[in-house]
Amino acid sequence: MSNKIISPCISICKTDPVTGCCYGCARTNEEKKKWKDENISDEWKLENLNKIKSRMQGWQLSSFEESYRHKINKGISLFKKKNLEG
């Protein structure tokens, strides 16, 4: 098995009622379920990361990329870190 691909969840878990995608990570509920499936391939996860980024633009995309990068490097999303620091 290759390096673990970190979930794109950045702890902003609210679904847009119009698109059905999460405001934080732009995944659908079905995509969120697949990420939790331990049998899903790394290839699917990488494709999904590209797909969800293509759904975002402007501040949402830059905010996601900053927080996701922080999560990969530090093990916690920026949003969660700020909430814990209060």
Q: Residues for the chain: how many in total? A: 86
Residue 36 contacts by C-beta under 8 Å, 6 or more apart in sequence?
none
Q: Are 80 and 11 in contact (CB under 8 A)?
A: yes
**Stronger pLDDT, 80 or 24, i.e. the higher one:** 24
C-alpha distances (whole Å) from 4 to each of 14, 35, 56, 63, 67 are 25, 12, 24, 22, 18
**Stronger pLDDT, 31 or 2, i.e. the higher one:** 31
Helix and strand numbers (H, E) in the chain are 4, 0
Euclidean distance between CA atoms 12 and 49, whole angstroms: 16
**Per-residue model confidence (pLDDT) at position 4:** 86
**Mind listing the pLDDT tens digit for each residue in 41-71?**
999 999 999 999 999 999 999 999 999 999 9
Amino acid in the structure at residue 54: S
Ranges of each domain in the chain: 29-85
**Per-residue model confidence (pLDDT) at position 3:** 62
Q: Global pTM?
A: 0.87
